[in-house]
């Protein structure tokens, strides 16, 4: 069965069509197809918030980021593996700054990566759930030979993951680290909306409202 996100990309996109066409006609779209075909869905955290839908969309955002940065096929593969398994260490849907660390410990078993490639992916995965001020120290803790590349992968993963914060009413493009990421914010919002309609899924807003104490319109509820 074809991944939902791939089906959605081939729908009409209105004003966003030129951006979508650029990606579909790039060498990075087949890499997204491959990453989704190889995705071990059984290993993913089971959740409406951080589950397979979130991972599909994060992979899409990651592949687009790779295109924007003109990453090599090798680095794109590592970024997409990071996107695929960045949340496998989750134990619940709420704030957990260490779930990236737990996820990083599972990367080798899930991907078969070793050596420098493993260090690069582990650093990115571990750093994604921590604050930006901890990024350098977290990535350095895995002792990558190319720190610059390791940090770039970590930033790209954080932005790809961040674009899907639209699902919890928490996407502020100003917090994204790259201008090209900010330019895809409207696409991220529309991709999430279409994904929920296509899957018949709830908007996960009941969970979000209870968590953030919001009313049905997204406004804070006075305690």
**Distance of alpha carbon 194 from its chain centroid, rounded?**
17
- Residue 220 sits at φ, ψ, to 5 deg, of -60, 140
Helix-then-strand count for the chain, H and E: 13, 0
Record the pTM.
0.88
Task: With CA atoms as reference, report the closest residue to 85 among 48, 33, 121.
Answer: 121
Q: Domains plus CATH for the chain? A: 4-212 (1.10.3210.10)
220: which strand partners?
A: 214
- For 161-207, write each residue's pLDDT tens digit: 999 887 656 556 667 778 887 889 899 989 988 998 888 765 555 54
What phi and psi, each to the nearest 5 degrees, are found at residue 159? -70, -40
Q: Could you tell me if 80 and 157 are in contact, meaning their C-beta atoms sit under 8 angstroms apart?
A: no
The whole-angstrom separation of Cα 219 and Cα 176 is 23
Per-residue model confidence as pLDDT tens digits over 60-117 = 999 999 999 999 999 999 999 999 999 999 988 787 889 999 999 999 999 999 999 9
Can you give the pLDDT at residue 118?
98
Q: What is the pLDDT of residue 211?
A: 46
187: tokens are 């696409």
Report the DSSP beta bridge partners of residue 214: 220
3-state SS class at 220? strand
Q: What is the pLDDT of residue 121?
A: 98
pLDDT given for residue 215 in this prediction: 55
pLDDT at 208 exceeding the cut of 80: no
pLDDT at 49: 72
pLDDT of 149 > 60? The answer is: yes
Nearest Cα to Cα of residue 83 among 7, 192, 158: 158
Looking at residue 126, its pLDDT comes to: 98
Q: So what's the pLDDT on residue 94?
A: 83
Q: How many residues does the chain have?
A: 223
Question: Is 156:69 a contact under the CB 8 Å cutoff?
Answer: yes
pLDDT of residue 220: 58
5-41, pLDDT tens digit by residue?
999 999 999 999 999 999 999 999 999 999 999 999 9
More confident residue, 214 or 145: 145
The pLDDT value recorded for residue 38 is: 97
């Amino acid at each position: 069965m074809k991944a939902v996100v791939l089906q959605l990309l081939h729908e009409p996109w209105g004003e966003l069509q030129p951006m979508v066409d650029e990606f579909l006609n790039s060498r990075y779209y087949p890499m997204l197809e491959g990453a989704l075909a190889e995705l071990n869905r059984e290993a993913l955290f089971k959740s409406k918030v951080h589950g397979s839908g979130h991972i599909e969309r994060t992979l899409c955002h990651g592949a687009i980021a790779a295109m924007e940065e003109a990453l090599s096929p090798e680095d794109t593969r590592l970024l997409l593996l990071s996107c695929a398994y960045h949340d496998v260490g989750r134990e619940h849907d709420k704030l957990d700054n260490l779930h990236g660390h737990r996820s990083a410990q599972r990367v080798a078993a899930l991907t078969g990566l070793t050596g420098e490639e493993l260090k690069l992916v582990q650093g990115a995965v571990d750093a994604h759930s921590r604050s930006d001020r901890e990024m350098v120290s977290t990535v350095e803790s895995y002792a990558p030979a190319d720190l610059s590349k390791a940090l770039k992968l970590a930033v790209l993963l954080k932005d790809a993951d961040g674009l899907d914060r639209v699902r919890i009413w928490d996407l502020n493009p100003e917090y994204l680290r790259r201008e090209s990421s900010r330019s895809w914010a409207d696409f991220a919002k529309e991709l999430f909306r279409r994904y929920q309609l296509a899957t018949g899924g709830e908007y996960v807003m009941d969970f979000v409202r209870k968590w953030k104490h919001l009313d049905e319109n997204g406004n804070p509820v006075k305690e």
